[in-house]
């Protein structure tokens, strides 16, 4: 049921029921008028546009039959009552996985105590799913030059005390060459260095000693430059034979959960063979999840899940949303506080993220939110869908966007990816706007959707976005638009919780009851923590994580079961 295309993202065709729409990776190119539409222009951080061949399906079928609509058409995955996935025994592929810039910085500092600035490094590829996917994390020519220059800088800056820590004699003597190379490379490569690797670095040591015989530290720094430039340092290895080694398991767990190299306790556990058993791995996962760095990594997962990585670049016209720029930082603090309180690993859950009332952080932000609301209104803001950051991120500079918001919910909460097929260009939203008939944003989108070429896509997407229309493009609560009472009611379709809904609170409540949404959270966590797209919804790690999370989808147990799954140790060569 899943097909792999460029960037290895899953593709599923939505045939006659959705007409021209195609279910593909998360991009905003389209439902309002193709890749050049205003919503695509506003949200170009969603990732590289991919195309699909709707005639093809991959072998990753979960075993469930597609539902058939009243007109005989096929419905997409998720557009039916929830069914348990059929177990998919497909093993995870062997791979090497380039360190993210954050992981690179942490790895260098852990190795030699030097802080590296990566702000000028070649930008990391963001394909609109998660930034750390392994199959798009490659080293470009520009990034290779960045690594080379950084290695020279670090080698020059490292203190002799840190160099001596890897020298057997502790004195940087010429006789330390082999021992230094072995200790440094083993720590940097996160597994014992081979004799061949050590011999190569000993040759570098000898050449550097000849070139600068007066500087006793020069050959040691030359070896460090070589180690920092090695692919064994820059990439995480998950090769397996066919099982991952204990050191590969340690790196997988540490970089996935802490975004950094294995701490000493985990390295020791690998050496003692404690990571050779499922119980040992589960204990290691529990220990890592208790560290503060695990919460930081998890918080980054939630930010990327909510598509908030580029909030600093969100633009709002001052004439439409006066004061937005002044309270942008308050919105960020509000979101961080909400995620910390209700999305943490210790007690957070998807149910809490969707259904807990948001506490506005400052009087200024509260005043901004209520600038368009009736003076006596006390309507609470409920869950992540009412956060100003989320609402403003998925809106236009001058108004809201039911389409962007609907796409966001479909993609991030239902794991349904919708995009126009190749060569299909429905009329842009601006054509409906130019007619001057619409008095509200909803009327504008309904006018646009009245075009037969647009209707089927917007039926699926905009119904969700209309529920969120009580918040304008900057996240301000309102009951009217241009003097007209807002209608936030719509029928949710294509899910296991279909039916009439009105408003954000009702939408959040319904989403919290959806089994597809609960499963999607496990899938999204798999994508982030494992840096890969799933071959199907029935793979063991996802099923185990979903089961462990329970009905409220507790996030700590979900992540623990995901990374503790014995299935992750198996690797197949492709």
Arithmetic mean of pLDDT, 21-40: 37
CA distance 515 to 197: 51
Give CA separation, 553 vs 289, 297, 338, 417, in Å. 17, 18, 17, 22
For CA atoms 112, 116, 122, 128, the dihedral sign is positive
What pLDDT sits at residue 356? 98
Half-sphere exposure of 367 (CA within 13 A, CB side): 7
pLDDT in tens, 371-404: 999 888 889 999 999 999 999 999 999 999 999 9
DSSP string, 503-545: SHHHHHHHHHH-HHHHHHHHHHHHHHHHTS--S-TTBHHHHHH
Which position has the higher pLDDT, 307 or 138?
A: 307
What pLDDT sits at residue 138? 87
Flag whether pLDDT at 3 surpasses 90.
no
CA distance 135 to 238: 13
Nearest to 563 by CA among 294, 344, 376, 380: 294
Which position has the higher pLDDT, 375 or 305?
A: 305
**Are 411 and 12 within 8 A, CB to CB?**
no
Angle between helices 441-449 and 402-412 (to 10 degrees): 80
Among 17-26, 91-100, 124-133, 202-211, the range of highest mean pLDDT = 202-211
Half-sphere exposure of 459 (CA within 13 A, CB side): 17
Flag whether pLDDT at 19 surpasses 50.
no
Nearest to 469 by CA among 394, 538, 417, 541: 394
Task: Categorize the per-residue pLDDT at 363 as very low, low, confident or very high, splitting at 50, 70 and 90.
Answer: very high
Tokens of 440: 């509200």
What pLDDT sits at residue 158? 98
pLDDT in tens, 393-438: 999 999 999 999 999 999 999 999 887 778 777 777 888 788 888 8
Which position has the higher pLDDT, 310 or 573?
A: 310
Task: Categorize the per-residue pLDDT at 99 as very low, low, confident or very high, splitting at 50, 70 and 90.
Answer: very high
**Are 548 and 557 within 8 A, CB to CB?**
yes
Cα dihedral 175, 181, 184, 187, rounded to 10, equals -130
Using alpha carbons only, give the angle 49, 473, 553 rounded to the nearest 5 degrees: 70
Which position has the higher pLDDT, 298 or 4?
A: 298
What pLDDT sits at residue 79? 52
Arithmetic mean of pLDDT, 189-203: 98
Flag whether pLDDT at 15 surpasses 70.
no
Tokens of 300: 């980054």
What pLDDT sits at residue 40? 40
CA distance 103 to 195: 27
Tokens of 126: 């963001």
CA distance 130 to 307: 9
Pairing type for strands 480-481 and 10-11 reads unpaired
Tokens of 570: 């198996």
Task: Categorize the per-residue pLDDT at 450 as very low, low, confident or very high, splitting at 50, 70 and 90.
Answer: confident
Flag whether pLDDT at 37 surpasses 70.
no
């Amino acid at each position: 049921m899943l097909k792999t295309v460029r960037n290895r993202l899953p593709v599923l065709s939505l045939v006659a029921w959705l007409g021209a729409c195609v279910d593909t990776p998360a991009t905003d190119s389209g439902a309002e008028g193709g890749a050049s539409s205003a919503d695509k222009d506003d949200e170009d951080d969603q990732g590289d546009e991919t195309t699909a061949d709707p005639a093809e399906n991959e072998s990753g079928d979960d075993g469930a039959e597609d539902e058939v609509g009243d007109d005989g058409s096929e419905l997409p995955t998720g557009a039916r009552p929830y069914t348990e996935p059929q177990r998919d025994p497909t093993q995870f592929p062997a791979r090497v996985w380039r360190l993210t810039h954050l992981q690179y910085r942490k790895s260098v500092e852990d190795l030699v105590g030097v802080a590296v600035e990566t702000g000028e490094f070649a930008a990391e590829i963001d394909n609109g799913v998660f930034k750390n996917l392994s199959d798009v994390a490659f080293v470009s020519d520009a990034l290779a030059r960045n690594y080379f220059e950084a290695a020279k800088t670090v080698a020059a800056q490292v203190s002799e005390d840190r160099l001596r820590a890897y020298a057997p004699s502790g004195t940087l003597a010429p006789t330390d060459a082999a021992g230094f190379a072995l200790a440094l490379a083993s720590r940097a490569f996160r597994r014992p260095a081979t004799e061949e690797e050590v011999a190569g670095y000993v040759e570098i040591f000898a050449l550097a000693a000849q070139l600068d015989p007066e500087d006793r530290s020069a050959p040691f720094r030359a070896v460090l430059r070589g180690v920092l430039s090695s692919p064994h340092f820059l990439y995480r290895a998950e090769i397996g034979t066919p099982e991952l080694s204990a050191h590969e398991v340690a790196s997988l767990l540490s970089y996935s959960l802490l975004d950094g190299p294995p701490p000493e306790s985990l390295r020791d556990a690998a050496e003692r063979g404690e990571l050779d058993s499922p119980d040992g791995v589960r204990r290691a996962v529990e220990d890592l999840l208790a560290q503060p760095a695990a919460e930081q990594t998890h918080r980054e997962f939630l930010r990327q899940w909510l598509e908030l990585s580029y909030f600093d670049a969100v633009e709002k016209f001052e004439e439409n949303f006066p004061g937005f720029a002044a309270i942008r930082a308050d919105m960020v603090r509000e979101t961080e506080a909400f995620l910390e309180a209700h999305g943490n690993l210790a007690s957070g859950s998807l149910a809490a993220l969707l259904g807990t009332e948001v506490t506005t952080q400052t009087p200024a932000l509260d005043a901004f939110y209520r600038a368009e609301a009736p003076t006596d209104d006390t309507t609470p803001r409920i869950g992540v869908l009412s956060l100003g950051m989320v609402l403003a991120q998925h809106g236009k500079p001058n108004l809201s966007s039911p389409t962007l918001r609907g796409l966001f919910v479909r993609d991030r909460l239902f794991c349904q990816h919708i995009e126009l097929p190749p060569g299909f260009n429905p009329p842009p939203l601006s054509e409906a706007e130019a007619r001057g008939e619409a008095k509200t944003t909803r009327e504008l989108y309904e006018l646009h959707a009245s075009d037969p070429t647009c209707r089927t896509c917007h039926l699926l997407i905009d119904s969700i976005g209309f529920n969120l229309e009580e918040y304008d493009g900057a996240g301000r609560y309102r009951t009217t638009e241009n003097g007209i009472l807002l209608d936030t009611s719509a029928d949710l379709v294509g899910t296991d919780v279909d039916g009439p809904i009105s408003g954000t609170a009702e939408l959040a409540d319904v989403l919290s009851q959806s089994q597809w949404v609960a499963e999607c959270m496990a899938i999204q966590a798999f994508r982030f923590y494992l840096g890969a797209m799933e071959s199907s919804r029935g793979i063991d790690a996802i099923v185990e994580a979903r089961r462990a999370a329970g009905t409220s989808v507790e996030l700590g147990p979900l992540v623990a079961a995901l990374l503790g799954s014995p299935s992750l140790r198996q690797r197949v060569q492709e």
